[in-house]
Amino acid sequence: MAAVPLVGGLAGLGFAVLFGWVTTRKSGTTFAMITLGLGELVFAMSLMIPEFFGGEGGVSGNRVIGKPFFGITFGPPLQVYYLIAAYTFVCTAAMYAFTRTPLGRMLNAVRDNPERVEFIGYNTQRVRYIAFIMSGFFAGVSGGLASLLFEIVTAEVVGAARSGAYLLFTFLGGATFFFGPILGAILMVLAFVLLSEFTKAWLLYLGLIFMFMVMYAPGGIASLIMMNLRVASFGKLRTLWVSYLALAVTWLMVAAGRLGHDRDGLSPATQWGHGRRGAVSGHVPGFQGAQQLVWRGLRDADGLWPVRGDPAPIQAPVGRDPDRDRERNQTQGDRVMSSAYALELRDLRKSFGKTEIIRGANLAVTAGERVAIIGPNGAGKSTLFNLISGRFAPTSGDVLLNGQRINGMKPYEINRLGLSRSFQITNIFPKLSVFENLRCGVLWSLGYKYTFLKFLAGLDDANERAEQLMEMIKLDKKRDVLGMNLTYAEQRALEIGITIAGGASVILLDEPTAGMSRSETTRFINLIKEVTVGKTLLTVEHDMGVVFGLADKIAVVVYGEVIAFDTPDAVRANAKVQEAYLGSSVADAQAGGGH
């Protein structure tokens, strides 16, 4: 009987493998609706196929069948209580350990900004799929425990009301903190078991609480706790606050579990299921020793402290041999073409419906060059970047990266080949710290990929590289600050750090100085020059002072075509360019570098 929850976990894992491949192809609201819909399908089938699901009466069981094992029969509910506590502790510890691995951290990143994850080398669908499989295992364990406790399984356990309740209380507890859903589980039991005994209008009050949290504390109760801890405590004082809070929560859980029994060892409430001896309710499975886990979760909510030491220098990517690449490329199918350039566009076109945005763009960038792409608003500059980086697929034409055709590839596939980019609108992981943002950017390039068998704290190379990157972008003093709490200029610098973190040889920066003051722009340009030494750089920019001060060559894009590509001096003197775009800005730039 003690192995029933484990069997349930393996069954949940199996169905997650089956259904997850389809459901995880979508994300956000669509993913939520699909998974809730699957539950509703099972609910409907349980009534339509009573021969298998038991109909409205469900499927009954008998947990005392067979011979006792070391005197344990699971007849007394207290024995089931301790079995639940043991499984809960082990599963919670396993889930906590998972959050401290590279894959667990990337799951946080996918939660915050799935698009950005695609541009640092990860397939977000695969990340969601692995997480879905693991979730199926733990959900199956929970189902096995429930079947032992209640000795019956009905359609109600997969109904919309129960599924919605889990989501509601996870939100109230705080989904972005490890201990948030634990708080949500405690609140759920208290609401269903205790609050319902005080008033018949308990659902109304619960709804009002939910509305209040949405408006004033969208991060849940966990976010309120962490906010007050950060403000009110520091150093040893912080440790004391956290430890006392963890101990209090632990003893409340234990007390709620033990006091929830009557003389027969059964909880009197009737919200969670029906056993063969009458209406039986679940209880809070308190477990000893949980204070260490909760304490660590509170202390470490923003991530493990990395292994420190002298930062190792970031190694520049190994250069390619064009002749050897061309020989190897002949065996890689029609994606490979001959090219002596780091990046080349050949008659590239992109249409949206009947509107052609990019009209036969041609460009060839030599390795190590800094190229600025300029043009009037609506000329197609950002669209060009999206075509190069895989965000859009071209209508026709080719994009070549180090001689290999990459048009039609996914962004993560292109990133793995050595191309990385920033965005016109700042694109970081807002709920991760500066250090975690940068460490996410280096994991794939160091070979950790979808690893969940190693702890982040032990990845010395990843931690040292992230520390080095922080120093390079001048954010080492903001190490543990969340990305969303940085200034605009600091967020732009952090995005540059994420872009170069993987060691890409070709860097695309989309309007990196937009919205900055003149002093911030000057500092930022110096930063770009420093961190892109030895790399091929393409940047879209409207500030002519920046363009003429940074670029080795300038490409002028007008109406989706590259009308000029030459040195800054040659572009200044190009009458066609002046007529099409620059106008009086040329005179300003020549006189001292205005906009």
Q: Whole-angstrom Cα distance, residue 415 to residue 504?
A: 7
pLDDT digits (tens, 9 = 90+) for 270-322: 334 443 333 333 333 333 333 333 333 333 333 333 333 333 343 433 333 44
- Kindly state the percentage of the chain with pLDDT values over 70: 78
Q: Whole-angstrom Cα distance, residue 419 to residue 458?
A: 28
pLDDT value at residue 388 = 94
Confidence of residue 155 (pLDDT cuts 50, 70, 90): confident
Task: State which amino acid sits at residue 306.
Answer: P
pLDDT value at residue 314 = 38
Nearest to 483 by CA among 463, 498, 469: 498
Q: Which residue has the higher pLDDT, 242 or 1?
A: 1
Lowest mean pLDDT among 50-59, 94-103, 247-256, 313-322: 313-322
Lowest mean pLDDT among 279-283, 342-346, 358-362, 506-510: 279-283
User: If you count them, how many residues does the chain have?
Assistant: 595
Those residues whose C-beta lies under 8 Å from the C-beta of residue 455, and which sit 6 or more positions away, are: 97, 100, 101, 304
Rama region for 398: left / alpha / beta (φ>0; ψ in -120 to 50; rest): beta
Residues 117-136: what's their mean pLDDT?
A: 94
Residues 392-418: what's their mean pLDDT?
A: 93
pLDDT value at residue 22 = 87
The pTM of this model reads 0.76
Q: Whole-angstrom Cα distance, residue 395 to residue 318?
A: 33
Q: Record the tokens describing residue 268, joined without a space.
A: 């009197």
According to DSSP, the β-strands at 396-401 and 561-566 are: unpaired
The mean of the pLDDT values for the chain is: 80
pLDDT value at residue 245 = 62
Confidence of residue 328 (pLDDT cuts 50, 70, 90): very low
Residues 145-170: what's their mean pLDDT?
A: 87
Residues 6-12: what's their mean pLDDT?
A: 96
Residues 377-406: what's their mean pLDDT?
A: 92
**Is the model's pLDDT at 432 over the cut of 90?**
yes
Those residues whose C-beta lies under 8 Å from the C-beta of residue 217, and which sit 6 or more positions away, are: 223, 224
Q: Whole-angstrom Cα distance, residue 222 to residue 210?
A: 14
Lowest mean pLDDT among 318-332, 396-410, 420-434: 318-332
Nearest to 358 by CA among 330, 383, 377: 383
Q: Record the tokens describing residue 347, joined without a space.
A: 């008659």
**Is the model's pLDDT at 125 over the cut of 90?**
yes
**Is the model's pLDDT at 104 over the cut of 90?**
yes
pLDDT value at residue 231 = 54
pLDDT digits (tens, 9 = 90+) for 498-557: 999 999 999 999 999 888 888 888 888 989 999 999 999 999 988 888 888 889 999 999
- Using the CB atoms, write b or e for 307-346: b if 16+ within 10 Å: eeeebeebeeeeeeeeeeeeeebeeeeeebeebebbbbbb
pLDDT value at residue 299 = 36
Q: Write down the residue that tokens 């405590």 correspond to.
A: 233
Q: Which residue has the higher pLDDT, 156 or 295?
A: 156
pLDDT value at residue 252 = 63
Q: Which residue has the higher pLDDT, 530 or 585?
A: 530
The C-alpha angle 544, 491, 468, rounded to 5 degrees, equals 105
Residues 571-588: what's their mean pLDDT?
A: 67
Confidence of residue 441 (pLDDT cuts 50, 70, 90): very high
Q: Record the tokens describing residue 380, joined without a space.
A: 């197609």
Residues 51-76: what's their mean pLDDT?
A: 85
Q: Whole-angstrom Cα distance, residue 587 to residue 224?
A: 55
Confidence of residue 87 (pLDDT cuts 50, 70, 90): very high
